[in-house]
Amino acid sequence: KPIMPPDLSKCHDAKAPALDNHCCPPYNPSETISEYGFPATPLRVRRPAHLVKDDQEYLDKYKEAVRRMKNLPADHPWNYYQQANVHCQYCNYAYYQQNTDDVPVQVHFSWIFLPWHRYYLHFYERILGKLIDDDTFTIPFWNWDTKDGMTFPAIFQEASSPLYDTKRDQRHVKDGKIVDLKYAYTENPASDSEIIRENLCFIQKTFKHSLSLAELFMGDPVRAGEKEIQEANGQLEVIHNAVHMWVGEPCGYKENMGDFSTAARDSVFFSHHSNVDRLWEIYRNLRGNRIEFEDNDWLDSTFLFYDENEKLVKMGDCLNPTKLRYTFEQVPLPWLGKIN
């Protein structure tokens, strides 16, 4: 059976010490829940974060959208921190699955990881676009699979900008440090050029090894009533974790990026995930556009997101980004090499 959305009237204290365990949204029992319909907006093109840094017009829009999101009333579902809390709710055990009283809804460590985050970004991006009345607006992707994108994107590093976040590992995000895609709180002593090479090889290896079996890339199945198993995550999720750890503070709760409950409070979260989403799309293409799982327990897993109202979405409906009306600017794939 596919996983179904939780009963929203039953949100529990989350396992989120960094937020004093609170991340439930305000509950509105009269809220109508409707089926999601594919948008009819123009095709939006997501661009690399390191290449938009000189596009002042775009940056002004992005900052203005985030500024407006932060200025919404604290209990507004589009409010910046309410949006960040969505991640906490579905990652830090605020909801239990329907008809269970101890199986949490957890969107990591399984085949739900990529589609759930795809939708999360999609709605977030559309809300930002609405706030500035621009239906072509996109969040940039942090292109960490290419040399020029392997440093922390400068657009998030301007102290006076709404994209700035103080809770980061300053040793990493400052001064063009190269991200280590195998980072786990130990510094890699290799030289920059060596780390770049290791990163590219690692991505290449990841794709090569997982092309024939989607579980290896995407994560293992999880079905209604089943608890997640942390070791069941896919290789792309593992790489993604390293980037989270590398950005978050090295101490305490590793805020913001290093802890599920706070990660989405850092705007760079969405650019990081935009690249994860893009690598999934590349994986799809490399496999001849074959759908990863024909299993209805995957295709029919259902979640709720907030657009104008609560929207019910099925995982199987997000498999084609064009239908969600976004795509990625084509950039070189230096790691691709002789993958096929």
Give residue for tokens 């070189």: 332
260 is catalytic: yes
Helix or strand or coil: residue 230? helix
| CA dist., res. 257 & res. 264, Å (int) | 7
Q: Decide if residue 126 touches ligand C2O (CB under 6 A).
A: no
Q: What count of other Cβ atoms lies within 10 Å of the Cβ of residue 60? A: 11
Helix (H/G/I), strand (E/B), else coil: 219: strand
Nearer to ligand C2O by C-beta: 91 or 94? 91
End-to-end CA gap in the chain: 35
Residue closer to ligand C2O by CB (options 103, 245) is 245
The answer to whether 50 contacts ligand C2O (rule: CB under 6 A) is: no
- Annotation says 272 is catalytic: no
Binding mask 214-243 for ligand C2O (x = CB under 6 A): --------------------------x---
Does the active-site annotation cover 172?
Answer: no
- Positions 273 through 312 that interact with ligand C2O (CB under 6 A): 273
**Cβ-contact 12, 94 below 8 angstroms:** yes
- Whether 244 is catalytic is yes
122 included as an active-site residue: no
Give the contact letters, 242-271, x = binds to ligand C2O (CB under 6 A), - = no: --x------------------x--------
Marked catalytic residue, from 109, 113, 117, 141: 117
Angle at 254 between CA 248 and CA 258, to 5 degrees: 55
87 is catalytic: yes
Tokens matching residue 140: 């940039």
Smallest distance, ligand C2O to C-beta of residue 248, A: 11
Distance of alpha carbon 168 from alpha carbon 116, whole angstroms:
25
Report if residue 108 touches ligand C2O, rule: CB under 6 A: yes
One of 109, 207, 260, 303 is an active-site residue; which one? 260
Q: Does 121 bind ligand C2O (CB under 6 A)?
A: no
Q: How far apart are CA 96 and CA 12, in angstroms?
A: 8
What are the phi and psi torsion angles at 47 (to 5°)? -115, 160
Is residue 91 near ligand C2O by the rule CB under 6 A? yes
Q: CA nearest 298: which of 112, 136, 46, 85?
A: 112
* Distance in Å, CB of 198 to ligand C2O, minimum: 21
Identified catalytic residue from 217, 273, 303, 328:
273
Instruction: In whole angstroms, give the CA distance from residue 307 to residue 111.
Output: 24
Write down the least CB distance from residue 177 to ligand C2O, Å.
20
What residues act catalytically? 87, 108, 117, 240, 244, 260, 273
Residues forming the site for ligand C2O (CB under 6 A) = 87, 91, 108, 117, 240, 244, 263, 273
